[in-house]
Structure 1
Amino acid sequence: MRGCTVAQRGYAGILGGFVTVLVGSPLIAFLCIGWYARFHEFENSLKDKALSAYLQRYWSKRLIDELNGSYGDSDASNGNGWRERADSSPELCDRLFTRIYHEQYGLLAFVLPYLILLSVAYAAATVLARNYTFGPCNGINASTCVYGITQQILVASFGGALMFIVSDSVLSIRRRALNVSDVYWYALRIMLAIPLALVAGGMDGKSVVIVFALATFPIDALMKVVRRMGFPQVTQAETDLSAPDKLLSLSGVTLPIVAVFEAEGVNSIEQVGAADPVVLSIRTGFPFRFTLRLCSQAIVQRHLGNDVDKLIPVGLADVLPIYFIAKTLNNEWEPKFPKVDDVDEIIKNAAARLLPKDDETQRIAIIKMKFRQIAAEEFTVMLARITPLDPGL
């Protein structure tokens, strides 16, 4: 810190330490407590045959390799024998899931971005401190060595960025939804404080307010502001492309939830139905059971079309009720399943709701076929093994 006074050096150390603790404390609490709570949420839902069904659906190659190593059989992938072995090997499935989870979302993945964030936060605090002038009270309008930015603009820019980072990280930690990518975004957000001050800075109080407000914006909101400033002609096209998505047709989905999905690159119902629910839950921060419910609705809509909302009044917009109907229809009902009375009448009612203009015989045959297809989905089998009697699913 050449050129700094003794007071500035001391102030830099104090402010740097304070900011580092303020930014780092919530993250440390998450890694010590919140991360394990999130992991146990998945463990409590995926047990025994439910976990086996999940691995068979989304990690079949890893599961087969694990079975080959455990049983010493290189032909475990032939036929369906590997599925039966997986169902009878809960400890093996549990070890494999734990290993996969740590690879995808383990504690070690947070180390590098965490160190980067703390380093950037400390550097920003020291830059702010070394450019603070001890002396006259009107020195806040004096230009600093940071590209000639005034002290008040510099404080407003870094203060707004710090406010966003701490508030957003605390909110994400409360939701147990903090991701590795979020920590990288926080570090970038601090780095953008100086460019924001250069773009929107000025000498008056209004400029300070603008800089502070912009500094509290998340990255995606800032990108929209920059695009509108640089390319105002695309504003209408952006508006047209931002029309309400079909994701809103899923029960329980609101515009903020759609925004979270879009931020993770999930823009269609087909993507929700095909996604790994564990990975999707981690990326979005939504509760695992809620994610399962959305995936369940997406699969039904993929098979039955956009008019599936007509089945909501009779409770057939999720895979599990359809699964129980299909099992009863095929004479495969088990005592652990909820009893389904008058299955033919239920199918007739569903067919009339979905295909009112078709011939009755044809529409009943189509609905039976579709119900059997939904029941045969690996996701449906997994969901039936997780909580077959849970009315929330």
Structure 2
Amino acid sequence: MVDVVGLDGAILQLVVILTAFATVICGAPLIMFLSMGWFTRYSEFQNSLKGGALAAYLQRFWSTSLIHSLQDEGKLGQTGSVDDWRTCSDKNPELCERLFARIYHEQYGLVPFIVPFIILLLVAYAAAALVASNYVIPNCDNTLKVACVYKLGIPLLVSSLAGAFMFIVSDSVLSIRRKSLNISDVYWYSLRLFLAIPLAMVIMNAGAGDGPHIVTAFALGTLPIDPLMKIVRRLGFPQLTDQDKRDGSSDKLLVLEGVTLPVVATLESEGINSIEQVAAADPVLLSIRTGFPFRFTLRLGSQAIVRRHLGENAARLLPVGLADVVPVFLLVRALDTPAVPTSDSPDKYDGPFPRIETPDAVVQNAAVRLFPDDNDLQRQAITRMKFRQIAAEEYTVMLARITPPDTGL
């Protein structure tokens, strides 16, 4: 092998050392994540989704898998009605836990990380070997194909690959800190490192001097794929830029409490561009993809459900605390089954949620806020109807069963 590529033993030793060093730096964060961080993320979901909340989650987002699991376990007949499988799933929390574990491992388990992880290590090893062979051979000989890559200058090649390495390591460490590293991210890392050489070729033919070439190659090397695609689109298709700005406006996401511009950017990168998408998205998968805390993702979905039914008027309910689904659910429950004092004390209320003493007055206040121009009878009737629709949502039922109870959802 040494005779074929024209490298002596000392040079080959340097290649091996540099490739091993670069591969370890690139792979160490991923190994730490797979051995420790992944289990921490899994525990976060388990701590919130227990018992009835987990059953409600599976009924809402994985109903087919839940029905098949109940049938396979002999808990449900082949012709069970809707009420049968829902009731049966509520009575079998252990089955729901096993199903959730299986779904989670299929979507985000350790095994799916193996293939992209190996690909990334191979690409990192090849890139480091290429840099090492070019480093020890200052003059590119035409006979040494291993050191002559499309007639690229050595400083330009090294700067482009170094920028890509810097982005991969820094972004992977940041994603691991946020517990948001995904399988797709590892594939993107491999592609980003693979595109370092084509990117250097483009910069080399840009027509500037060697100095700006090297700086530009390193700067662009530190960028992820998405900004690079936007730069290419601006250069090749400038007419798309204004249209993208008009079509890609996500101002409506900013009306949700707790949503800032960085949060909007993260949601957009995962294809979430509207409030309706937030309401319909699986909160577990969305939390995994974005790296947001699970409770924060649930609250975004909670607000989105209210806005789905009330529109922009939902913001008027913020002062009275009815802009989230759990307070609405508790209000409807208080309307249907008024809270009664316990036998120990007339002032105590037996339940995990706060007591609502006069729910009719709360509904009247909310109706005035939502429909100030309608007559009192109509606006109260519409408000009650809307609140009951919100309380009947499967998402609402799931959040009402979250333990420990959280009235902020």
Q: Are the counterparts in 1 of residues 25 and 169 from structure 2 also a CA contact under 8 Å?
A: yes
The correspondence for 1:162, drawn from 161, 165, 170, is: 165
Look up the equivalent residue of 1:236 and give its one-letter code: D
Query: Which residue number corresponds to residue 348 of structure 1?
Result: 364
Cα distance in 1, alignment partners of residues 378 and 172 from structure 2: 55
Query: Which residue number corresponds to residue 144 of structure 2?
Result: none
Deviation at 1:203, TM superposition (A): 4.5
Cα distance in 2, alignment partners of residues 333 and 172 from structure 1: 46
Query: Which residue number corresponds to residue 275 of structure 1?
Result: 281
Cα distance in 1, alignment partners of residues 137 and 202 from structure 2: 27
Deviation at 1:16, TM superposition (A): 0.6
Look up the equivalent residue of 1:382 and give its one-letter code: M
The correspondence for 2:54, drawn from 51, 73, 78, is: 51
Q: Residue 41 of structure 1: SS of its match in structure 2?
A: helix
Q: Does 1:27 align with 2:30?
A: yes
Q: How many residues align?
A: 386
Q: Does 1:376 align with 2:392?
A: yes
> Which deviates more, 15-24 or 79-88?
79-88
Look up the equivalent residue of 2:377 and give its one-letter code: T
> Which deviates more, 123-132 or 242-251?
242-251
Deviation at 1:238, TM superposition (A): 2.4
Look up the equivalent residue of 1:260 and give its one-letter code: T
Q: Residue 271 of structure 2: SS of its match in structure 1?
A: coil
Deviation at 1:333, TM superposition (A): 4.9
Deviation string for 1:114-154 (max 9, x for gaps)? Answer: 00000000000001111123579xxxxxxx61111111111
Cα distance in 1, alignment partners of residues 167 and 119 from structure 2: 17
The alpha-carbon distance between structure 1 residues 352 and 127, as it changes in their structure 2 partners (threshold 3 A), is: same
Deviation at 1:239, TM superposition (A): 2.6
Query: Which residue number corresponds to residue 196 of structure 2?
Result: 193
The alpha-carbon distance between structure 1 residues 72 and 306, as it changes in their structure 2 partners (threshold 3 A), is: closer
Deviation at 1:66, TM superposition (A): 1.4
Query: Which residue number corresponds to residue 405 of structure 2?
Result: 389
Match runs of 1:204-223 below 5 Å: 204-223=210-229
Q: Are the counterparts in 1 of residues 60 and 395 from structure 2 also a CA contact under 8 Å?
A: yes
Q: Which runs of 5+ in 1 are unaligned?
A: 137-143
Runs of 4+ with deviation above 6 angstroms: none
TM-score with structure 1 setting the length = 0.94
> Which deviates more, 2-11 or 51-60?
2-11
Q: Residue 374 of structure 2: SS of its match in structure 1?
A: coil
Deviation at 1:72, TM superposition (A): 5.5
Q: Residue 73 of structure 2: SS of its match in structure 1?
A: helix
Q: Are the counterparts in 1 of residues 306 and 323 from structure 2 also a CA contact under 8 Å?
A: yes
Query: Which residue number corresponds to residue 239 of structure 1?
Result: 245
Query: Which residue number corresponds to residue 320 of structure 1?
Result: 326
Cα distance in 1, alignment partners of residues 85 and 304 from structure 2: 28
Q: Does 1:259 align with 2:259?
A: no
The correspondence for 1:99, drawn from 93, 97, 102, is: 102
Q: Does 1:300 align with 2:303?
A: no
Query: Which residue number corresponds to residue 381 of structure 2?
Result: 365
Q: Does 1:146 align with 2:166?
A: no
Query: Which residue number corresponds to residue 136 of structure 2?
Result: 133
RMSD of Structure 2 on Structure 1 (CA)? 1.7
Look up the equivalent residue of 2:336 and give its one-letter code: N
Look up the equivalent residue of 1:103 and give its one-letter code: E
Q: Which runs of 5+ in 2 are unaligned?
A: 140-146, 341-349
Cα distance in 1, alignment partners of residues 399 and 339 from structure 2: 16
Deviation at 1:376, TM superposition (A): 0.7
Deviation at 1:89, TM superposition (A): 1.1
The alpha-carbon distance between structure 1 residues 235 and 65, as it changes in their structure 2 partners (threshold 3 A), is: closer
Query: Which residue number corresponds to residue 250 of structure 1?
Result: 256
Identity %, equivalent residues: 58
The correspondence for 2:85, drawn from 82, 86, 94, is: 82
Q: Residue 71 of structure 1: SS of its match in structure 2?
A: coil
